Amino acid sequence: MEINLTGKKALIGASSTGIGGGIARVLASCGVSVTLASRNEQKLQDACESLDRSKGQVHQYLLVNYNDHEAYKKQIAHYFESNKVDILINNSNGPQAGTIAQKQLSDYQDAFELLFQNHCYTTGCALPYMQANGYGRIINVSSSTVKEPVSNLVLSNTIRTALVSWSKSLAEDVAKDGVTVNSILTGLFDTDRIQSLTNLDAQRLGISYDDALQIRLKQVPAQRLGKPEEYGYLVAFLCSTYASYLTGANIPLDGGLLKGL
């Protein structure tokens, strides 16, 4: 089965490195013209230059500030004044780790803007073209913690669950227009985010980083971290015509981490 997405255009959040970067590389290899979005311009430039252009793709990047919702809205609105996309990958940096006791109401508001309002606003900008064109793919980079919450990731647990619920409703509304909406429930991937969380674990437990990582890996039946490109392979399938009947789903990609059915 070959996935050919030549001629499609994608906007991919948080895509200078990590999971977003893996998605961008795989989609570009399938013929997609990619807009990378992130907050570090040098990393964006480097990532953009490395993308496959063998099928005539034109790649670009967008500098955004996910942590300032009002500024983000202006940046995204300006982008869509002259750009249309067939594929939208809702992804951003995660909120700071912490338990319920460590978080204030203002922290939930900040996380709500970061993980919910930003993605809802971007989706609203992208949808009209997708609906008019009879094709669209909206994919949320979510987390396995929406199914099995982790106590020290209370902000991520809570707000990502809200977005997944909203996306389920959206999927029902736009399926008739040829637009699919799916969420990927991310496990442990080899990214800066997992390194940061593992470092926090190591400090909290008074152990080395390697020992803290091994504790994490023991939870994963596959006994390893996922690779960003592996994430991209699933996204490429979801963007293809092979997945046109797949919508409203929450798909675990976690090496078997989730224990529930």
State pLDDT tens for residues 18-40: 999 999 999 999 999 999 999 99
| Both structure tokens of 94 | 């995660």
Burial of 42 (0-12, 13-18, 19+ CB in 10 A): exposed
Q: How much is the pLDDT for 129?
A: 98
Q: What amino acid occupies position 89?
A: I
Q: What is the pTM of this model?
A: 0.95
Backbone φ and ψ for 133, nearest 5 degrees, come out as -90, -15
Domains of the chain: 9-187+231-249 (3.40.50.720), 190-225 (no CATH)
pLDDT of residue 189: 96
pLDDT in tens, 122-160: 999 999 999 999 999 999 999 999 999 999 999 999 999
Tokens representing 52 are 């496959």
Neighbour tally for 48: CB within 10 Å: 18
Q: Distance between CA 181 and CA 173 in Å, rounded?
A: 10
CB–CB of 36/62 below 8 Å?
yes
What would the two tokens of residue 2 be?
A: 């070959």
Residue 1: pLDDT over 90: no
- The whole-number pLDDT of residue 261 equals 83
238, 172 contact by CB (below 8 A): no
Compute the distance between CA of residue 126 and CA of residue 219 in angstroms, rounded to an integer.
37
8 Å CB contact between 88 and 122: yes
* pLDDT grade for 48, boundaries at 50, 70 and 90: very high
